[in-house]
Amino acid sequence: MGVEYRLEHLERLDCCGIGYQLSSEDVYRGFPTLVKDRLFDTEGTEILVASLQNTEFDSTYLQELFSLESQSDLIKTWRIGEAISEIILEQLHQVRFHHNAVRDAKNPLANQAGTDIIGFQGNGDNTCFAFGEVKTTPKDRNSPPRVMYGMEHQLENLVNIDHVTKNLIRYLAFKVTVLPEQHQFCIDYRLALASFRRDRYLLYGCLVRDTDPNPNDLRARLNSLVDKLNATVILNMIAIYVPLPDHRWVELVEGGEQRGN
């Protein structure tokens, strides 16, 4: 994976746009493993099985009971786009996600409303909430694609509508109240809350495409949004370019050919 372009705002050097090009190796190795594990919350299944390992239920039954892998309808292009975005943010932007959102869904197959990216970035007193939106556009060949206008509106809401971010912070609060105080999730939450009180947090706009890299995908929305931000809010716009058509994404995730490599 490489950086194809980087856009910087003339007045806000802490806000930028970055275009990442995935390699074929990234796709063939990552889709059947990292992406698939995130879509089906493999880690969550392992946690549930381990929590009941000393009961009368055998692990094979528990694995079958809690696993989501039989629900192939979870493998949607837009879900893959969200998974890719989270993986890129973790690996290259050090964003921490303590909770897979699929665990909140009574029906994992439903299209869940709400903000796509909810995590943390930074360390110590610099820890902040990281909120954002993901748009996946395999069918639209325009630059920028039409969905970028909707993304801009959603990101504006995270800045201008007070209850949008407060509801996200309340949502996270219920996650941490049941955890030990020294759990990293709790530590991140308290530190990020202190930053939010100073009106400091991060926004991410992530675009996932199967087109050639083009800085016009991000340029206009980056410039437009930065001009609407408070000086304490940082924006990163990210485009992720996948070198395979979208129907192959689903095939690779479903096949799992590269697991264990």
Mean pLDDT of the residues in the chain: 92
| Residue pLDDT, tens place only, 193-229 | 999 999 999 999 999 999 999 999 999 999 999 999 9
- pLDDT score, position 138: 82
pLDDT tier at 256, thresholds 50, 70, 90: low
For the chain, the residue count is: 261
Q: At what angle do helices 59-66 and 42-51 cross, to 10 degrees?
A: 140
What's the order of all strands across the beta sheet hosting 16-21? 2-8, 16-21, 233-241, 201-209, 128-136, 117-121
| Residue pLDDT, tens place only, 149-190 | 999 999 999 998 899 999 999 999 999 999 999 999 999 999
> Pick from 216, 242, 66: which is nearest to 148 by CA?
216
User: What is the percent of the chain where pLDDT is above 90?
Assistant: 79
Q: At what angle do helices 147-160 and 219-226 cross, to 10 degrees?
A: 20
- pLDDT score, position 26: 95
- Rounded distance, CA 69 to CA 112, Å? 19
**What pairing do the DSSP bridges indicate for beta strands 233-241 and 201-209?**
parallel
Q: Is the pLDDT of residue 109 over 80?
A: no
3 state SS for 110-170: CCCCCCCEEEEECCHHHCEEEEEEEEECCCCCCCCCCHHHHHHHHHHHHHHCHHHHHHHHH
| Residue pLDDT, tens place only, 223-254 | 999 999 989 999 999 999 999 998 899 999 98
Q: Is the pLDDT of residue 260 over 70?
A: no
User: What is the pTM assigned to this prediction?
Assistant: 0.92
- pLDDT score, position 261: 38
Q: Is the pLDDT of residue 110 over 90?
A: no
